[in-house]
C-alpha cells in the first residue's frame, strides 16, 4: 500500500488500551519477536528525538535523563537511552523500581554494563536539560502514589524539556484522566495507534504537542480487532477536504449551490446574526437568506450585501416574534437557527422544528429546545437535525445523560442514538456523533474559546450543507469538514495574531486563508 494512503488511514484510527494490547498480541502470535518490535519502535522514537534535540539546540554538551518504569514503556526508554548514549549524549537513568519485566530488565542490565549511570533519586537528574518519560504507557493500572508521585511533581516544577513515550505517565489511556499525578510533557510520541486519551479534554494540558510514531502495524490486524468501520475516528485534513464542494462543476450556478436560511439575532445580539452570515459567506453558498428582527434589518443588509435579509415581526425587547406570513420554508435546503435569538424567540424555534428540510439548531434555539422535551421532539423529526451544543447547553438538553455518564465521547454517542440526530458537542476536542459513529476533531486552539466563535461555525456549516443535500450525499462528513475548517481558521489566526487575537469577526476573515493552505489551486 502506498505510504500516503497508509498514513492517512492510520491517522484516523483510535484505540483503547485493551484494543492496543489485543492488536499487539496478534502481531506477536504471528511471529514478530517482542524484543524486535521494541527495538524498531525505540529506534523510530530516537530518530524523532534527534530532530527535536537539534531543533531546540540541544547538543552533546546537554545531559539527558531517562525515566524508566517497570514495564515495556520502560523498555522503550532504555533502548532510547542506549541509542542516545551511542550518539554521544551524556545520559542518566532514573528507575526507582526493584522489579522489572524480563525484557526491560535485560535492557537495564546492558545499560549498566555500558557504564550509563542509574539512580533511584530524582534529585540526581537536576542537571539534565531534557527528560524522556518512559515510566508508564498503556499498562498503567492504578494511581501513582508515594515517592514516585513526589518525583513526578518535582519533575513538573522543573524547567526542562519533557518528552513522553506513548503517553505522559499517569494519564489513563482511555479516559485521559490523571491517575494520582502525571508527567506534564512538552511533546508526546504516541506509539503505533492513537489512544483515546489524546482525544479527551481532561489530559490535554499534560500531553503537550502530540505526534504519532507509526511502526507498521498491518491494517488487517487493526481491522480484525476494530471491525471495518470503527466506532471512534479522528478527523484528518484529507478526509475533511474531500467532502468540501471543490472543485466546483464548470457549469455551476447559484441554485445548484443551494439556498440557506439563517434565523438569528435580536436587538440585543445583532452581532450573532452578522457572524453567522459571515461564516456562511465563506462556505461559498449559492443563495443566503437571513431572517432577523425588523429593527436590525438595515444593519444586516449593509454588512452582508449579497444576502437576502428578511425582516421579522419582533417582541417588545427586539427578539424575533415569528416569521413573516409569506415565507415559504420549502425554498431552503437548510435552515440554521439559534445564534443571538434570546429565549423570547421560542415560537420560531417551534416552527423550525416542524420544517421538512435539514436544520441546524445552535445557542438559544438549544436553550428553547431544552424546554420542549428534547428526546421526543428530536426523535420525531423526519428530516436531518444537527445540534451544536457546548457542554453547558448539552447539560440543559440532556440532564439525564449527564447523571449517568462522564465521558464526553460516550455522552455525545448516547444522545445521538437516543435522538437520531447529529450531535456536534463543541469543546477543545469537538465530537461529532451520529447514531453509528463518533468523529473527533484532534487539532484546535484555545483561541477559539470566546463569544461568537460558535455563531461562525453555525453559519459555515449551514452554508456547506445545501450543495450536499442537493447532490443527495450523506451529510455527516460535511459536518466534520465544517468543524475541522473552523478550527484550522482559528489555528492560522492564532499563529499570526497570538491566541488573544482571534475574536469571532477576525476568525471569519481567516476561513478562506486557512482553506487555501490545503487546497491546490491552478493560479
H or E element that contains 113: helix 102-114
Cell representation of residue 134 = 518512559
Distances (CA, A) of 303 to 286, 310, 334: 18, 14, 22
Piece of the chain touching ligand NAX by CB under 6 A; list 72-80, 283-291, 307-315, 444-452: 72-80
Residues numbered 232 to 271 that lie near ligand NAX (CB under 6 A) are none
Residue 140 CB, nearest approach to K ion (Å): 9
Report whether 228 belongs to an annotated binding site.
Answer: no
Query: Out of K ion, ligand NAX, none, which partner does residue 269 contact, by CB within 5 to 8 A per kind?
Result: none
The string of DSSP letters for 387-411 reads E--BHHHHHHH-HHHHHH---HHHH
Report whether 340 belongs to an annotated binding site.
Answer: yes
DSSP secondary structure letter of residue 122: G
Cβ nearer to ligand NAX, comparing 97 with 375? 97
User: Do residues 14 and 194 lie in contact, with contact meaning Cβ atoms separated by under 8 Å?
Assistant: yes
Piece of the chain touching ligand NAX by CB under 6 A; list 7-15, 69-77, 115-123, 407-415: 69-77
Residue nearest ligand NAX, Cβ-based: 137
Applying CB under 5 A, the residues found at the interface with K ion are 133, 164-165, 169
How many residues bind to ligand NAX according to rule CB under 6 A? 27
> Does a cis peptide bond (omega within 30 degrees of 0) precede residue 135?
no
Distances (CA, A) of 118 to 81, 94, 96: 11, 6, 9
In the block, cell 494519564 appears at: 171
- Asked if 176 is part of the footprint of ligand NAX (rule: CB under 6 A), the reply reads no
User: Do residues 178 and 170 lie in contact, with contact meaning Cβ atoms separated by under 8 Å?
Assistant: yes
User: Do residues 431 and 485 lie in contact, with contact meaning Cβ atoms separated by under 8 Å?
Assistant: no
Report whether 86 belongs to an annotated binding site.
Answer: no
* CA–CA dist 373, 354 (Å, integer): 14
Residue 282 CB, nearest approach to ligand NAX (Å): 41
Of 65, 137, 265, 277, the one binding ligand NAX (CB under 6 A) is 137
Cβ nearer to K ion, comparing 77 with 271? 77
Give the x-and-dash track for 92-121 against ligand NAX (CB under 6 A).
---------x--------------------
Residues numbered 19 to 58 that lie near ligand NAX (CB under 6 A) are 20, 24, 37-38, 41
The string of DSSP letters for 338-392 reads -TT--GGGHHHHHHHTT-SS-EEE-HHHHHHHTTS-HHHHHHH-SS-EEE--BHH
Of 165, 285, 397, 433, the one binding ligand NAX (CB under 6 A) is 165
In the block, cell 465521558 appears at: 407
Cβ nearer to K ion, comparing 83 with 166? 166
The residues that touch ligand NAX, with contacts defined as CB under 6 A, are 20, 24, 37-38, 41, 69-76, 101, 136-144, 165-166, 191-192
Binding-site residues from annotation for AMP: 426-430, 454
Binding-site residues from annotation: 72-76, 133, 137-143, 166, 169, 272, 340, 390, 426-430, 454-455
Amino acid at each position: 500500500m502506498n505510504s500516503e494512503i497508509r498514513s492517512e488511514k492510520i491517522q484516523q484510527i483510535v484505540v483503547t488500551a485493551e484494543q492496543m494490547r489485543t492488536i499487539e498480541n496478534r502481531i506477536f502470535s504471528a511471529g514478530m519477536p517482542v524484543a524486535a518490535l521494541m527495538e524498531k519502535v525505540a529506534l523510530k522514537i530516537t530518530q524523532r528525538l534527534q530532530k527535536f534535540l537539534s531543533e531546540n539546540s540541544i547538543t552533546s554538551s546537554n545531559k539527558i535523563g531517562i525515566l524508566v518504569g517497570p514495564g515495556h514503556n520502560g523498555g522503550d526508554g532504555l533502548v532510547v537511552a542506549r541509542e542516545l548514549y551511542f550518539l554521544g549524549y551524556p545520559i542518566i537513568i532514573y528507575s526507582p523500581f526493584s522489579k522489572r519485566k524480563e525484557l526491560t530488565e535485560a535492557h537495564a542490565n546492558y545499560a549498566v554494563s555500558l557504564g550509563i549511570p542509574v539512580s533511584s533519586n530524582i534529585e540526581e537528574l537536576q542537571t539534565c536539560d531534557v527528560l524522556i518519560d518512559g515510566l508508564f504507557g498503556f499498562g498503567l493500572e492504578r494511581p501513582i502514589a508515594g515517592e514516585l508521585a513526589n518525583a513526578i511533581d518535582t519533575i513538573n516544577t522543573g524547567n526542562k524539556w519533557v518528552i513522553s513515550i506513548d503517553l505522559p505517565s499517569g494519564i489513563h489511556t482511555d479516559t485521559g484522566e490523571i491517575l494520582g499525578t502525571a508527567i506534564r510533557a512538552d511533546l508526546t510520541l504516541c506509539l503505533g495507534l492513537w489512544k483515546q486519551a489524546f482525544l479527551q479534554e481532561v489530559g490535554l494540558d499534560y500531553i503537550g504537542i502530540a505526534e504519532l510514531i507509526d511502526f507498521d502495524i498491518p491494517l488487517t490486524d487493526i481491522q480484525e480487532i476494530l471491525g471495518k468501520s470503527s466506532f471512534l475516528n479522528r478527523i484528518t485534513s484529507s478526509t475533511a477536504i474531500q467532502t468540501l464542494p471543490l472543485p466546483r462543476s464548470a457549469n455551476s450556478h447559484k441554485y445548484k449551490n443551494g439556498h440557506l436560511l439563517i434565523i438569528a439575532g435580536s436587538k440585543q445580539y445583532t452581532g450573532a446574526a452578522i457572524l453567522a452570515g459571515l461564516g456562511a459567506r465563506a462556505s461559498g453558498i449559492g443563495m443566503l437568506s437571513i431572517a432577523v428582527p425588523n429593527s436590525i434589518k438595515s444593519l444586516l443588509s449593509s454588512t452582508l450585501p449579497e444576502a437576502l435579509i428578511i425582516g421579522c415581526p419582533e417582541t417588545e425587547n427586539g427578539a424575533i416574534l415569528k416569521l413573516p406570513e409569506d415565507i415559504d420554508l420549502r425554498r431552503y435546503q437548510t435552515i440554521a437557527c439559534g445564534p443571538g435569538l434570546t429565549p423570547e424567540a421560542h415560537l420560531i424555534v417551534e416552527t423550525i422544528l416542524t420544517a421538512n428540510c435539514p436544520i441546524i439548531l445552535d445557542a438559544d434555539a438549544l436553550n428553547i429546545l431544552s424546554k420542549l422535551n428534547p428526546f421526543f421532539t428530536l426523535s420525531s423529526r423526519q428530516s436531518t437535525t444537527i445540534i451544536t451544543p457546548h457542554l453547558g447547553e448539552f447539560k440543559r438538553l440532556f440532564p439525564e445523560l449527564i447523571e449517568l455518564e462522564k465521558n464526553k465521547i460516550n455522552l455525545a454517542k448516547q444522545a445521538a442514538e437516543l435522538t437520531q440526530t447529529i450531535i456536534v458537542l463543541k469543546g477543545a476536542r469537538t465530537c461529532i456523533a451520529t447514531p453509528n459513529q463518533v468523529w473527533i476533531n484532534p487539532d484546535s486552539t484555545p483561541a477559539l474559546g470566546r463569544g461568537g466563535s460558535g455563531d461562525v461555525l453555525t453559519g459555515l456549516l449551514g452554508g456547506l450543507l445545501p450543495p450536499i443535500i442537493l447532490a443527495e450525499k450523506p451529510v455527516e462528513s460535511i459536518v466534520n469538514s465544517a468543524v475541522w475548517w473552523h478550527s484550522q481558521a482559528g489555528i492560522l489566526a492564532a499563529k499570526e495574531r497570538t491566541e488573544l487575537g482571534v475574536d469571532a469577526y477576525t476568525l471569519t476573515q481567516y476561513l478562506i486563508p486557512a482553506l487555501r493552505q490545503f487546497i491546490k489551486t491552478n493560479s
